[in-house]
């Protein structure tokens, strides 16, 4: 135990990925971007592979190389390169790189000429998110250019893919529309002569809620970590949240009625009570917006946050009880011992669970445990 830490059970990630694979019945790409959604990139990647993940997905070049540095030799897709990135190491490491434009394809062809390697390229089409990817207006040109470079032996188009805007809202007509546009894009790619190994569209919510969007592969991020991408809508699969965030109680003290708590006195005790000091704050990624809204678990009892979240600390109301200092304070976890979940914190912070788990960090340490093997998982102990 340390003063404030993120404890990640890699067995939960393994189990979740295994459950997801059985449920979707197509290969899965476990997304380990953003340091494995705050769970640790290397440990998450390892757990995902142990559960049979056929692919890993990341946003940046640096993340793809970190996957390789962690010893992973399987299929990896990176999808957000920028002009200043050196793509050569990615190609050398056999990472699939996403191209959005003809210019991206030419950069990869240049790497091919310099290295005598054949880059593995996946083409991304924008089916309506209007974020990355080629618009449908540009898509035929991108496909044609890719096919020419493929025929010239300068690259290999391994995938065609896109991304949903609203998959956690299954009734949103945007889902149907994007899937329809994706099918058109696949036809255009096929007409250009492309024969990709994988065609993929679904993230966690779509993988679980929209079977028609599964194609050859689904990209599952949040669900791998045990969090529900569409709370209340997802089928009961028994996913287990892998992350627990805890801290030592730093101080317990009595205050009288009328005591006002933390910056700007946004809460005032209406009776004598005891206050507990928790040594993490917004510098650790505890959202400032959860002041007076979130709860924590102290000695088996839910305790409300009182007052504003500070940079290094916040205050909870212990209701007159006197737990000893050093007592475990659980901010969130799987919820099985009565503690709040990342979903509860998301509700308190008016955000989504993704932001809760990816933001937490700062001065906290991270520890990996393996509840199936009752050992501390190796590597990456410190953040
Ligand atoms: C982050 C991301 C995913 C994973 O989304 P989840 O909702 O966490 O499953 C999939 N695809 C792309 C392109 C992403 O950026």
| Ligand 1 site-directed mutation target among 221, 242, 352, most atoms within 8 Å of CB | 221
DSSP 323: P
**pLDDT tens, residue by residue, 120-147:** 999 999 999 999 999 999 999 999 999 9
For 303-320, letters b (16+ CB in 10 Å) and e give bebbbbbbebbbbbbbee
Strands 243-248 and 55-58: unpaired
| Ligand 1 nearest atom to the CA of residue 31, by list position | 4
**CA 329 – ligand 1 centroid, Å:** 31
Distance CA 47, CA 14 (A): 5
| CA atoms within 13 Å, Cβ hemisphere of 167 | 27
**CA 219 – ligand 1 centroid, Å:** 6
| Ligand 1 site-directed mutation target among 30, 37, 57, 342, most atoms within 8 Å of CB | 57
- Delineate the domains of the chain, giving CATH numbers in brackets: 55-216 (3.20.20.10), 243-376 (2.40.37.10)
Q: Which residue, among 357, 358, 360, 381, has the nearest Cα to 369 in the 3D structure?
A: 381
Task: Give the pLDDT of residue 2.
Answer: 87
**CA 367 – ligand 1 centroid, Å:** 25
Residue nearest to atom 10 of ligand 1 (CA): 203
**CA 205 – ligand 1 centroid, Å:** 9
| Ligand 1 nearest atom to the CA of residue 229, by list position | 7
Give the global pTM: 0.96
Distance CA 192, CA 289 (A): 51
Task: Give the pLDDT of residue 1.
Answer: 65
Angle (nearest 5°) at CA 17 between 15 and 21:
115
List residues with catalytic annotation.
33, 263
Distance CA 374, CA 237 (A): 24
Residue 55 burial (10 A CB sphere; 0-12, 13-18, 19+): buried
**How many CB atoms are closer than 10 A to CB 25?**
9
| Ligand 1 site-directed mutation target among 17, 28, 31, 80, most atoms within 8 Å of CB | 31
**CA 83 – ligand 1 centroid, Å:** 22
Q: Taking CB atoms and a 6 Å cutoff, what residues make up the pocket around ligand 1?
A: 31, 33, 79, 163, 203-205, 219-222, 229
| Ligand 1 nearest atom to the CA of residue 33, by list position | 1
Distance CA 307, CA 21 (A): 43
| Ligand 1 nearest atom to the CA of residue 34, by list position | 1
| Ligand 1 nearest atom to the CA of residue 168, by list position | 7
**CA 121 – ligand 1 centroid, Å:** 19
Write the CA distances from 295 to 35, 247, 329, 338, 339, integer angstroms: 26, 14, 10, 11, 8
Give the three-class secondary structure for 378.
coil
pLDDT in tens, the chain (383 residues): 689 999 999 999 999 999 999 999 999 999 999 999 999 999 999 999 999 999 999 999 999 999 999 999 999 999 999 999 999 999 999 999 999 999 999 999 999 999 999 999 999 999 999 999 999 999 999 999 999 999 999 999 999 999 999 999 999 999 999 999 999 999 999 999 999 999 999 999 999 999 999 999 999 999 999 999 998 898 899 999 999 999 999 999 999 999 999 999 999 999 999 999 999 999 999 999 999 999 999 999 999 999 999 999 999 999 999 999 999 999 999 999 999 999 999 999 999 999 999 999 999 999 999 999 875 555 444 43
Task: Give the pLDDT of residue 377.
Answer: 53
Residue nearest to atom 13 of ligand 1 (CA): 163
């Amino acid at each position: 135990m340390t003063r404030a830490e993120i404890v990640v059970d890699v067995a939960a990630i393994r189990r979740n990925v295994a459950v997801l694979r059985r449920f979707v019945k197509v290969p899965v790409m476990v997304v380990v971007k953003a340091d494995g959604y705050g769970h640790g990139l290397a440990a998450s990647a390892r757990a995902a592979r142990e559960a049979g993940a056929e692919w890993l997905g990341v946003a940046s070049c640096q993340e793809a190389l970190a996957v390789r540095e962690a010893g992973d030799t399987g299929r990896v897709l990176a999808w957000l390169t920028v002009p200043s990135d050196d793509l050569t190491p990615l190609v050398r490491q056999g990472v699939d790189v996403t191209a959005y434009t003809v210019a991206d394809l030419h950069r990869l062809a240049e790497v091919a000429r310099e290295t005598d390697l054949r880059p593995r390229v996946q083409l991304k089409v924008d089916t309506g998110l209007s974020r990355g990817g080629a618009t449908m207006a540009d898509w035929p040109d991108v496909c044609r250019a890719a096919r020419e470079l493929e025929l010239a032996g300068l690259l290999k188009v391994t995938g065609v893919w896109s991304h949903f805007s609203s998959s956690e809202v299954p009734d949103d007509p945007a889902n149907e529309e994007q899937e329809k546009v994706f099918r058109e894009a696949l036809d255009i790619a096929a007409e250009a002569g492309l024969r990709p190994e994988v065609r993929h569209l679904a993230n966690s919510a779509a993988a679980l809620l929209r079977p028609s969007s599964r194609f050859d592969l689904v990209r599952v991020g949040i669900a791998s970590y045990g969090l529900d991408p569409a709370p209340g809508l997802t089928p009961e699969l028994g996913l287990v949240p892998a992350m627990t965030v805890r801290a030592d109680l730093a101080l317990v003290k009595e205050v009288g009625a009328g005591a006002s708590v933390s910056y700007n006195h946004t809460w005032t005790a209406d009776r004598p009570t005891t206050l507990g000091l928790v040594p993490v704050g917004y510098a650790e990624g505890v959202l400032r917006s959860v002041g007076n809204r979130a709860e924590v678990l102290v000695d088996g009892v839910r305790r409300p946050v009182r007052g504003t979240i500070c940079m290094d600390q916040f205050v909870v109301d212990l209701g007159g009880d006197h737990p000893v200092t050093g007592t475990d304070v659980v901010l969130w976890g799987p919820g099985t011992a009565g503690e709040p979940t990342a979903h509860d914190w998301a509700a308190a912070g008016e955000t989504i669970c993704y932001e809760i788990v990816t933001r937490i960090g700062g001065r906290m340490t991270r520890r990996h445990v393996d509840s199936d093997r009752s050992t501390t998982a190796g590597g990456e102990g410190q953040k």
